[in-house]
Structure 1
């Protein structure tokens, strides 16, 4: 039995901070949860007004880790911008709405309950055709019809998590996976060619690969920006870079000017806390949001604002950027200790290199760059809870003699990390 969470764990002024500090973290909802008996019935009552029914469609790029080692950050941002525009343009054309801010290479769309499953699947096939014809990278798509919770611009719930995981971890380039619930909504005599993925066992039922079927040949993508994380000036420059990249007219001077203008060298600290397992997803979700608020609180207390900044705290994940490598490691170790005092374990990845830090609505931030990917690979993909991982690039600037060297392969990329 997990100990009932209490507001006493938090700084007294945390729940009074302004929107530009909390970002997408629903602190008021967390405060209501902490003030309740924290039962399943309390969770359902708090979530009732946030419940939505429809389709959740997630995507993830394939082969990006290897591309990041072969190309510069600006080129990567231009490459992943292409499929995001297509997913959003066609999705909006059939009544879909974007979910969250699309800062990374993945996307998420929500489609209303009254959309036919046939129209959605045809649109997904149309999207994959367009990406295959014009983009430098492929994506995998996962779609599910079900019940979700729409909170602070995000889509929550066990079903949303399940299809996002399927898209991110179980699709290959150009693949479309749909759930049993979508198959059940297709007409009896549909002309889609689908096959069951027998290797996937999920909590949302059987998963099927869409191999072929009708496209929406007359569908025109809406020329609207996806929820970009960038400033208008940077996005305009990124589009110009993308145009030159596509037409092979890019020159070194233009690239160097953009790098000097936007790119920074930072040390990235990525911290993931361990989610507590409880009987119901709704209670687990509130507990996770409460732990996120705790991570937000700890970070705000520990950060030296002159040399470091919080990038974001979302779900079980927190990301910070530092100028100094020693400050970053010290912060990470202290953060781990502070969580341990609350009986919460975490795993941490730290890397350094070129990043782009951009401002989001309400004054919050996000980040892109290889150091974020490497920190994630070390901590989330291969790391153990309770451990801290330094990259090979960190070895050059901090003492790693008390750390254990580990080598492994992730997504076709050889990684050397130092565990402590």
Structure 2
């Protein structure tokens, strides 16, 4: 049982750090939570002004893991840029708003309560048609109507988490899944052909696959500028590269200009489950602040080593393998001293590190994906995982070699 989090467990100056350091983490809200009795009623009071009603629509690319093994990082970024532009521009055309920073291949849109469900579902069919016709990678879409909490540009709550998980883990390319709540808002004589996904049992009730239906033939996309995480210069180059994917000289030029070689450390802490989601949400934000605090203390003046801390996840990048391993082991011990287990994945290779509009940063590249697959997909809490790339770089005599497959990819890792 982890002791209740209080401000005493954090550095005294953490809640005074500037916005460019904390990014989207709502530290002031966390501070209010830590100063309360941390009851369900306290959570509801703090969240009351953040509650919104409407539709949350999430997407995830399909087959990207294998694609990452076949193509370079810049080509992958150009390929996943295409469906993101379509999701955003068609979504904006029916009053949708983007949620969060679209740094990876996932997207999330929020649509207002007054939008008719027929319009939304027709728009999603239209989006999938355009993506199928014009993009190299396909996406799965998950949509739900419900109540959410809008905080620091993100969408929180059990319903937002649930539909995001459905889109990410239970959709195929070109598929659209909608919840019972959206079906209930459709007219009795709607023209959509739906099929229940009886293999899915979620807190959102029944889930339906949209097989066919009316499209919005006259819908015109109005804004392709989704929440782009890259610098303006890089994004201009990326757009040009989209039309020059076969130009190897230009690809080499961009690689030399933007790509770095780094050792990536991905750390996921384990949060205790509690009875109510609202309390759990605040506890998770509090753990994020704790991870932020520990990371800032351990990296000292090397502030650029921290890439991001979001939810229970922290990502860091280093130049030297031994420094990265020592950081990871110390971080694990710091969390363990507070009764918090974590699991860590470490890989090295080509990455793109980019600045976000809020002043913080994000990262893309195969090392991030592999670190996640070792730690989050197959890892045990309390363990640290090194990729095969460290076999001849570090002393791994105290590590156990393991082999497994994730998403059709053969992985060799060292557990310690």
User: What's the TM-score, normalizing by structure 1?
Assistant: 0.98
Note the 1:290-309 alignment, pairs <5 A.
Answer: 290-306=286-302, 309=305
Structure 2 equivalent of residue 348 of structure 1: 344
1:361 CA drift (Å)? 1.4
Structure 1 position 124 matched with structure 2 position 124:
yes
Q: Name the SS for the 2:305 alignment partner.
A: strand
Q: For residue 362 of structure 1, give the secondary structure of its aligned residue in structure 2.
A: coil
Alignment of 1:63-74 (within 5 A): 63-74=63-74
Query: Is residue 383 of structure 2 the alignment partner of residue 375 of structure 1?
Result: no
Deviations 1:391-415 (A, max 9, x none): 1112231121211111111111111
Retained in 2: the 8 A contact 1:407–1:415? yes
Tell me the equivalent position of 1:405: 401
SS in structure 2 of the partner of residue 162 of structure 1:
helix
Determine whether 1:387 maps to 2:390: no
Q: Deviations over 1:356-377 (max 9, x none)?
A: 0000013200000000000011
Q: Which residue is equivalent to 1:160? A: 160
Residue 283 (structure 1) aligned with residue 283 (structure 2): no
The SS at the match of 1:30 is: helix
- Distance change >3 Å, CA 305–CA 321, structure 1 → 2: farther
* Structure 1 residue 300 displacement after superposition: 0.2
3-state SS, counterpart of residue 321 of structure 1: strand
Cα displacement string for residues 69-122 of structure 1 (whole angstroms, at most 9, x for unaligned residues): 000000000000000000000000000000001000000000000001110000
TM-fit CA distance, 1:304: 4.7
Distance 2:108 2:287 in 1: 24
Matched, 1:332 2:328: yes
Contact kept in structure 1, 2:92 and 2:223, CA below 8 Å: no
Q: CA deviation at 1:2?
A: 5.4
Q: CA deviation at 1:262?
A: 0.3
CA distance in 1, matches of 2:323, 2:130: 46
Q: Quote the residue 2:310 is aligned against.
A: 314
Equivalent residue in structure 1 for 2:262, among 257, 262, 266: 266
The gaps in structure 1 that reach 5 residues or longer are: none
How far apart are the structure 1 equivalents of 2:210 and 2:35?
46
Q: Secondary structure at the match of 1:373?
A: helix
Q: Distance in 2 between matches of 1:90 and 1:397?
A: 48
- Contact 1:310/1:319, CA 8 A, preserved across alignment: yes
Q: How many matched pairs?
A: 416
1:13 to 1:377, Cα distance in 2 relative to 1, 3 A? same
Q: 2: distance between equivalents of 1:229 and 1:155?
A: 18
After superposition, what is the alpha-carbon deviation per residue over 1:28-86, rounded to whole angstroms, capped at 9, x for unaligned? 00000000000000000000000000000000000000000000000000000000000
- The residue aligned with 1:115 is 115
Counterpart in the other structure of 2:210:
210
| Rounded Cα–Cα distance in structure 2 between residues aligned with 1:176 and 1:306 | 44
Aligned ranges for residues 62-211 of structure 1 at < 5 Å? 62-211=62-211
Alpha-carbon deviation of 1:140?
0.4
Q: Distance in 2 between matches of 1:396 and 1:193?
A: 56
Query: Is contact 1:265–1:354 with CA below 8 Å preserved after alignment?
Result: yes
In the alignment, the residues of structure 2 paired with residue 350 and residue 328 of structure 1 have an alpha-carbon distance, to the nearest angstrom, of 8
Measure how far apart 1:252 and its partner are. Answer: 2.0
State the Cα distance separating 1:307 from its structure 2 match.
Answer: 8.8
Q: Secondary structure at the match of 1:185?
A: coil
Deviation at 1:306, TM superposition (A): 4.3
The answer for unaligned runs of 5 or more in structure 2 is none
Q: Is the 8 A contact 1:267 1:323 kept in 2?
A: yes
Q: Is the 8 A contact 2:296 2:303 kept in 1?
A: no
SS at match of 1:208: strand
The alpha-carbon deviation at position 253 of structure 1 amounts to 1.6
User: For structure 1, which segment, 134-143 or 392-401, has the greater mean C-alpha deviation from structure 2 after superposition?
Assistant: 392-401
Out of 358, 361, 376, which is 1:362 matched to?
Answer: 358
Runs (4+) of structure 1 exceeding 6 A deviation are none
Change (3 A) 1:12 1:304: closer
Quote how far apart the aligned CAs of 1:223 are. Answer: 3.1
Structure 1 match to 2:231: 231
Shift of 1:305: 3.8
Does the Cα contact within 8 Å between 1:308 and 1:323 map onto a contact in 2? no
3-state secondary structure, aligned to 2:336:
helix
Q: Distance in 1 between matches of 2:320 and 2:235?
A: 29
1:38 and 2:46 correspond? no
